[in-house]
Amino acid sequence: MKLTKRTELRRAPSKGSHDWKTINPILDQGFLAHVAFCVAGQPFVFPTLYGRDGEKLYLHGSAASRMFVELATSIPACVTVTLVDGLVLARSAFDHSMNYRCVVAFGHAREIADPARKIESLRVISEHLIPGRWADVRGPSEQELKATTVLEFWMEEASSKVRTGPPLDDENDYSLPVWAGVLPLEIRSRPSISDEKLIKGISIPDYVRRYDARLNRGTVH
């Protein structure tokens, strides 16, 4: 990975890393990215699902989407993924924080036009979101593929930051009669709700029942 000042870890560099061994697990646990880019001096940020394949991310959306139309021109873009693990409540308002894991990646995107590669990229996104689902569902039709843009975003450089542990108060504040500690947070699924039009005899797949294990692997409090 070629590094520039874009990913230089200036504040609290001890919490950061440029190592793919740290970056990839964060990307693999997350599924929602925020994509930032600039058009004619106006910045935009859009949320989108993604799938990871090595040092590239696949993004997909409507062929009419402004974000995908602009990104397909290979303009510079920034993708961020953040996992929040807890609120860190200190004895002073100033020292409140949160435990988190995040990745910031810079690069350029290019559109995938080849139908076979496009379908494979959509499979990667689907399997990233909920492993096992792609094999059960009907694949995209030719018309659906035309209505969908798939982008391949190359992470030319990236950095991660991780914050863990208790609050760090000023030494004089530890004697204050105020509760302090960490309020752990995590994303959890709730009981699945079957579609009313589901044909009889179809049971809930195991990958739906076990989804919490996919959501919270590697959670750090």
Supply the pTM of this predicted model: 0.89
pLDDT digits (tens, 9 = 90+) for 75-126: 999 999 999 999 999 999 999 999 999 999 999 999 999 999 999 999 999 9
Distance from C-alpha of 72 to C-alpha of 129, rounded to nearest angstrom: 23
Residue 51 reports pLDDT greater than 90: yes
Structure tokens at 81: 């993924």
| Residue 144 confidence (pLDDT) | 95
Q: What's the mean per-residue pLDDT of the chain?
A: 91
| Residue 221 confidence (pLDDT) | 44
Q: Where are the domains of the chain?
A: 6-169+178-188
Q: Of 5, 3, 151, 137, give the one whose Cα is nearest residue 73.
A: 151
- Per CATH, the number for 6-169+178-188 is 2.30.110.10
pLDDT digits (tens, 9 = 90+) for 1-43: 677 777 766 666 677 788 999 999 999 999 999 999 999 899 9
Structure tokens at 36: 């930032």
Q: Of 51, 55, 54, 49, give the one whose Cα is nearest residue 67.
A: 49
pLDDT digits (tens, 9 = 90+) for 139-193: 999 999 999 999 999 999 999 999 999 999 999 999 999 999 999 999 888 999 9
| Residue 63 vs residue 153, higher pLDDT | 153
